[in-house]
A and B are shown apart, each in its own frame.
Chain A
Amino acid sequence: MKIYKKQVFLAGNPNSGKTTLFNTLTGLRQHVGNYPGVTVDKKSGQLTGHGDITVVDLPGTYSLYPNSLEEKIVTRQLLDIGDQSAVILYAADCSRLDSQLLLLTQIIDLGHPVVLALTMTDREDKYLDESTLSESLGIPVFKVSSKSGEGIERLKSNLVSLVNAPVTTNNSFYNLSDQEQKLAAALEGVLPEQNSYRRLQFLHHGENVAIKDQIAKDTIDRIRLESGFNSVAHQIEETLQRFNKLDRILAALQIGKTDTVSKRITHRMDQIITHPVAGPVIFALIMLLVFQAVFTWATVPMDAIESIIAVGANSIDSVFPESWLRNLITRGFIPGLAGVLVFIPQIAILFLLIGALEESGYMARVVTMFDAMLKPLGLNGRSVVAFVSGGACAIPAIMSTRTITNQRERLITILVTPFISCSARIPVYSMLVAFAVTEGKTFGFDNRAFALFGLYAIGVLMALLAAWILKAFIKGDERSSLMMELPVYRSPSMKSLVRLAYEKTKVFILEAGKIILIISMVLWFLSSYGWNREENLVSDPPLAESFAGNLGHAIEPVIRPLGFDWKIGIAIISSFAAREVFVGTMATLYAIEDEEHVESIKERMKLEVFPDTGKPVYSQPGTWSLLLFYAFAMQCMSTLAVVKRETRTWKWPLIQLVFMTGIAYLAAFVIFHLLS
């Protein structure tokens, strides 16, 4: 990522309207690191109209004293900024000022230039005097509404002038105790450029903040040890003092209690949504609706993309003379590209709907409802967030586990999340479900949608079972926590949802697309050429005698007990790069075997039989066996790479690869023999 000199760091509590404000300030010009994730990654964007200023969206946190990995990043970042061209923009929900300003006062005491933005002003009906608040806090205060755009321009011009000429307030909120002052003074020699409160922070965080100077590090450790510094006691003392001061400031504003309409609606809705019986039923229904939508809404755009690609391939075939290059393009590259592009509608819709569930505040209720149920399995209520995101892609899901404070619960969540059917399995499922289930409707729902829901359900059940088993092997004694705020429901902004879905789909297509395209072309080569005809490489041998055929035949004895033939063998091998490669592989394999590839792949697959027995390959037992294999097997290199990064060892991704694929083999074997 490009490093800009002028930076605005956006900080605030969870549910402070921070992310919406970020979207309003940066528009479409955002960078989300390498992988998608709501506020997990260091998300940054350019301030609209001011390309030289970068806005960085910090994860939401309550104070400088972190509980989770994500919050640690914020503390570290806030202590690291020494450059005075950085300004902190603090977002707070204006109806929640009684509890959302704690971190603001800490940031002021760190000595940063700060601007306060009061969000969700459209929800607050009481009069709130920003100038009085600004005076008592000693910093600029702006009421903004991301919905109507009110106050945004004023905020922006203030940010621009502050970035160019930083001003800090002389106000300080926390008076260090005598003991704390003595300790801070003792650090003056090694941390000369820091103020007393910053020095105190270094005592609190010790090894958690990056200190380059070894002498400073040793001095801090020694002072911590010698003074018997009780961090938690000092934290509590400090926090209470800050709140007392804030209470006095807010009392002068005479804001009074807020009892808005949206709050009353929220409380009424929560009676049903968090009901012990109705709650989980509603959750299951919402999930079913999501998948129904994925299936039905995506049909029209998918058909359109499919026919456009078919027309393109046919016209290339008719215009250009037969050559290896034409074959590479129309039988390797284009089928591979089609395998990626066709699924954009489904993936985008899934990302959109999951984003809506998170932004509306519903996910906080889901976490609350399932926490007590998941705790005995070695998981946490927050694991649900990973599981639901895992329905789109395991990569952002695994990264979302950074909010789980207990390391053991976090590790187990990471290990079992890939059992949740991700969108990369949709192409495989939707192709195969057509062979396993007849068309029609049950209770008004599409049969195939039901089968798809079943596959998702079995993925969830396997994730829970695996968690329960892993719990016995993974030790850890850290305390775990729930402590979940239940925000007021709000209708997510369509604009920001579309942006989120667009970003995530783009990254997904680029990440998966690269692998799929390369593999498609490698496969085309492997299936077009064989070593029998070294002298005449241009003419293709029959598929069975090609390199790919040899590979598939080699593993056939291992997979024949599952009902798979050698062609499926090729698909499984190539799927270890990424699951969705399956469809591209099938397209490539059959396009190559057939002289005319006008016939759709599905029709072609239906006719496929085992040469020795004459039985169809895609029979019900064979198809269900393949479906279960794809449901459980670890077939995603990108996920393994992320697990390695998050656990900082190859041990866990390897264990994950072995146990998931083992379970997949076993399940496929059992179902094939049960149904045959």
Chain B
Amino acid sequence: MATEKTIKILRFADEMEPAESSFISQLEQGEATSRLISMGIRPQLSIRLIKRLFFGKTLIFEINESFRVALRKDEAHQIMIKSGV
């Protein structure tokens, strides 16, 4: 019974709702990862979805309440976020 509560659903940044805020928990290892981290998109920082463009194919995020970036859906899918549960 206890285990059920601790299971957290994996969520990625591309699944966020507009205006939703969370924190980055981890980055999946992929082609874009090194670049994402270099831009300052890294674990522990806050992330907020500002806007979805083109049916969610392009996403604008605010990182660390400091700067904004536009990412493609598959790029955002490399960013794991802490689920609100």
Question: What residues make up the interface of A, taking CB atoms closer than 8 Å to B?
Answer: 62-63, 65, 67, 95-96, 98-100, 102, 232-233, 235-236, 239-240, 243, 257-259, 270, 274, 276, 364, 367-369, 371-373, 375, 479, 481-486
Known: A239-B38, A486-B69. A368 touches B53 (CB 8 A): yes
Q: In the docked arrangement, what's the CA distance between A369 and B53, Å?
A: 7
Distance (whole angstroms) from the CB of B34 to the closest CB of chain A: 5
B40 to chain A, nearest CB (A): 3
Question: A258 to B66, Cβ gap below 8 A?
Answer: yes
12 additional contacts, CB 8 Å, given A270-B60, A481-B32, A485-B70?
Answer: A96-B66, A99-B40, A236-B37, A240-B42, A240-B43, A257-B66, A367-B70, A368-B53, A372-B72, A373-B54, A481-B75, A486-B70
Q: How far is the CB of B60 from chain A (nearest CB, A)?
A: 7
**Contact assessment for B38 and A485 in the assembled complex, using a CB-CB cutoff below 8 Å:** no
| CB-based contact B29/A481 at 8 Å | no
Check if B53 sits within 8 Å of A274, measured CB to CB. Answer: yes
Cα–Cα distance between A232 and B65 once the two chains are bound (Å): 27
Show 6 residue pairs from A and B whose CB-CB distance is below 8 angstroms, ordered by the A residue: A62-B35, A62-B39, A99-B39, A232-B34, A240-B37, A369-B53
Tell me which residues across on chain B come within 8 A of A62, comparing CB atoms.
Answer: 35, 38-39
Q: Are B64 and A65 in contact (CB under 8 A)?
A: no
Residue among B35, B57, B64, B69 making CB contact with A372, cutoff 8 Å = B57
Q: Which of B42, B51, B71 contacts A274 (CB 8 A)?
A: B51
Distance, CA A371 to CA B39, complexed state (A): 19
- B52 CB to closest chain A CB, in angstroms? 9
Q: Is the CB of A482 within 8 A of B64?
A: no
- With a cutoff of 8 Å between Cβ atoms, the chain A residues found around residue B39 in the complex are 62, 99, 483, 485
The answer to whether B29 touches A233 (Cβ under 8 A) is yes
B31 CB-CB contact with A under 8 Å: yes
Question: Is B31 a contact of A98 with CB atoms below 8 Å?
Answer: no
Complex Cα–Cα for A482 and B29 (A): 17
In the A-B complex, the 6 residue pairs with the closest CB atoms: A99-B40, A372-B54, A368-B70, A372-B57, A62-B38, A63-B38
Minimum C-beta distance from B21 to chain A (A): 14
Distance between Cα atoms of A232 and B78 in the complex (Å): 14
With CB as the reference atom, state the residue of chain B lying closest to A243.
B42
B68 lies within 8 A of A486 (CB): yes
Q: How far is the CB of B73 from chain A (nearest CB, A)?
A: 9
Is A98 a contact partner of B53 (Cβ separation < 8 A)? no
B58 A102 Cβ-Cβ under 8 A: no
Q: How far is the CA of A382 from the CA of B65 in the complex (A)?
A: 26
* Interface residue ranges, B against A (CB under 8 Å): 27, 29, 31-40, 42-43, 51, 53-54, 57-58, 60, 63-72, 75
Beta-carbon contact of B66 and A236 below 8 Å: no
Are B33's CB and A236's CB within 8 A?
yes
Collect the chain A residues with CB atoms within 8 Å of residue B37's CB: 235-236, 239-240, 243
Contacts of A240 in B (CB 8 A): 37, 42-43
Which of A95, A235, A373, A375 contacts B34 (CB under 8 A)?
A: A235
Would A232 and B38 count as touching, CB distance under 8 A? no
Q: Which one of B27, B43, B64 contacts A98 once the chains associate, using CB atoms below 8 Å?
A: B64
Interface centre among B38, B58, B69 (most CB of A within 10 A): B38
Residue on B with the closest CB to A246?
B40
Known: A65-B34, A99-B40, A102-B38. A484 touches B69 (CB 8 A): yes
Query: What is the chain A residue whose CB lies nearest that of B51?
Result: A274
Which of these, A67, A99, A257, A372, contacts B58 with CB under 8 Å? A372
Measured CA separation A259–B62 after assembly (Å)? 13
CB distance from A478 to the nearest CB of B (A): 9
Known A102-B38, A102-B40: A236·B70 in contact at CB below 8 Å: no
A63–B33 alpha-carbon span in the complex (Å): 13
- Knowing A239-B38, A479-B31, say if A485 contacts B67 (CB, 8 Å): yes
What is the CA–CA distance of A485 and B68 in the complex, to the nearest angstrom? 6
Provide the bound-state CA to CA distance between A123 and B50, in Å.
23
- A residues within 8 A CB of B60? 270, 274, 368, 486
B37: min CB distance to chain A, Å: 5
Q: Which residues of A contact B38 (CB under 8 A)?
A: 62-63, 65, 102, 239
Residues of A within 8 A of B63 (CB): 99
Residue in B closest to A93 when the chains form the complex, CB atoms? B67
Q: State in angstroms the CA–CA spacing of A236 and B34 once bound together.
A: 6
How many angstroms from the CA of A95 to the CA of B67 in the assembled complex? Answer: 10
What separation, in Å, do the CA atoms of A429 and B33 have in the docked complex? 47
**Partner of A67 from B35, B57, B69, B72 at Cβ < 8 Å:** B35
Q: Which residues of A contact B75 (CB under 8 A)?
A: 481-483
A482→B71 contact, CB < 8 A? yes
C-alpha gap A371/B71 in the complex (Å): 10
Least distance between B2 CB and chain A CB atoms (Å)? 32
- The CA of A481 and the CA of B40, in the complex, are separated in Å by 17
Among B36, B42, B65, B66, the residue within 8 A (CB) of A483 is B36
Residue in chain A with minimal CB distance to B64: A98
Query: B53, A236: Cβ atoms under 8 Å?
Result: no
Give the nearest-CB partner of A232 in chain B: B34
Given the known interface contacts A99-B67, A274-B53, the answer about A371 and B40 at a Cβ–Cβ threshold of 8 Å is: no
- Measured CB to CB, the closest approach of chain A to B68, in angstroms, equals 4
Q: Are B33 and A483 in contact (CB under 8 A)?
A: no
Q: What residues on A are CB-neighbors of B67 within 8 Å? A: 96, 99, 485-486
Taking CB as reference atom, which chain A residue is nearest B72? Answer: A482
CA distance A369 to B27 in the complex (A): 25
Q: When chains A and B are docked, how far (Å) is the Cα of A48 from the Cα of B53?
A: 46
Q: Is the CB of A481 within 8 A of B35?
A: yes
B53 x A483 contact (CB < 8 A): no
Residues of A within 8 A of B34 (CB): 63, 65, 232, 235-236, 239
In the complex, chain B residues whose CB is within 8 Å of the CB of A67: 35
- In the bound complex, CA of A168 to CA of B72 (Å): 40
* Least CB distance, A574 to chain B, in whole angstroms: 45
A472 to B: closest C-beta gap in Å: 22
Chain B min CB distance to A14 (Å): 9
Assess A371 versus B70: contact at CB under 8 Å? Given A236-B34, A240-B37, A485-B39: yes
Pick from A258, A259, A364, A372: contact of B53, CB below 8 A. Answer: A372
How many Å from the CB of B28 to the closest CB on chain A?
11
Chain B residues near A371 (CB-CB < 8 A) = 58, 70, 72
Is B71's CB under 8 angstroms from A483's CB?
A: yes
B35 to chain A, nearest CB (A): 5
| Interfacial chain A residues near B72, Cβ < 8 Å | 371-372, 481-483
CA A102 to CA B38, docked complex, whole Å? 7
A270 CA to B60 CA, complexed, in Å: 11
Residue of B at shortest CB range from A65? Answer: B34
B56 nearest CB neighbor, chain A only: A372
Taking a contact as CB atoms under 8 Å apart, the answer to whether B53 and A276 are in contact is: yes
> Bound complex: CA of A96 vs CA of B72, how far in Å?
23
Nearest-CB distance from A124 to chain B (Å)?
A: 12
User: How far apart sit A484 and B35, CA to CA, in the bound complex (Å)?
Assistant: 11
Kindly state the separation between the CA atoms of A63 and B72 in the bound complex, as whole angstroms.
21
- Complex Cα gap A17–B68 (Å): 17
